Amino acid sequence: MSEPPVLVQRNPVPTLILYGPEDKVVTRHFPARMAIAFPNHAGPFEIAGAGHFISWEQPDALHDHLRAFFRAQLG
């Protein structure tokens, strides 16, 4: 790493925030905290029936959100 990670500043990178309510790794506060950390965000969106691995547990929902997010980013 050329620089240490910045952990106290907001990150302007466009970000898609997804959360699986069955997640046992991060808390229910995760989506709200990510919305603060990434002010240029879409969501947070809760993906029903998913936990920490949304890509495995609800791939169709993930793909739908990704398509919409990138479509919006590309204009």
Q: Given this model, what pLDDT does residue 75 score?
A: 83
Torsion region of 49: left, alpha or beta (phi above 0 gives left; psi -120 to 50 gives alpha): left
Question: pLDDT tens across 21-65, in order?
Answer: 999 999 999 999 999 999 999 999 999 999 999 999 999 999 999
Band (pLDDT 50/70/90 cuts) for residue 9 is confident
Question: Is 4 a residue whose pLDDT tops 90?
Answer: no
Query: Domains of the chain: which residue ranges?
Result: 15-74
Both ends of the chain: CA-CA distance in Å?
33
Question: Is 5 a residue whose pLDDT tops 90?
Answer: no
For 4, residues 6+ apart whose C-beta sits below 8 A from its C-beta are: none
